[in-house]
């Protein structure tokens, strides 16, 4: 009985710790996205346009298979912890998308609970790709 409990405990611990820790590559990606967004914001403001922060809330695998070039990648399960990487402005225009809109809806509601006031669920990747490319 004790062995079964130990095996079960080990399986739970291993299963719960499967998420990889951020490494320097992840930090470079975040810094690159942040710098790219700063440039996009400045260009939009210079042209007298309002800027939209576009966030892909799909999984890493989906992102790797293709994404809108100007989008930042934050999986919907991490949106509340990581939105500050993109913007801390609660009135900023934020457009979220996923595969068909379900996860984007969850991300939108999570951001609204944090006080973001201008969040749009743009639906799925194909819709957003047509809009921004």
Active-site residue identified among 98, 111, 119, 122? 98
> Is 16 a catalytic site residue?
no
* CA dihedral for 81, 84, 87, 92, sign (positive or negative): positive
* E strand segments, the chain: 52-56, 72-73, 93-98, 119-124
Strands 93-98 and 52-56: parallel
Q: What 3-state DSSP class applies to 99?
A: coil
User: DSSP class of residue 47?
Assistant: T
* Catalytically active residues, by annotation: 98
């Amino acid at each position: 009985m004790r062995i079964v409990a130990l095996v079960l405990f080990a399986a739970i611990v291993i299963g719960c710790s499967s998420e990889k820790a951020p490494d320097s590559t992840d930090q470079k990606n975040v810094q690159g996205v942040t710098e790219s967004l700063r440039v996009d914001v400045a260009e939009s403001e210079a042209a007298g346009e309002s800027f939209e922060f576009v966030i892909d809330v799909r999984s890493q695998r989906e992102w790797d298979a293709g994404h809108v070039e100007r989008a930042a990648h934050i999986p919907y399960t991490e949106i509340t912890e990581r939105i500050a990487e993109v913007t801390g402005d609660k009135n900023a225009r934020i457009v979220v998308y996923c595969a068909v809109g379900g996860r984007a809806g969850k991300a939108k509601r999570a951001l609204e609970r944090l006080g973001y006031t201008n969040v749009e669920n743009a639906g799925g990747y194909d819709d957003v790709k047509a809009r921004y490319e």
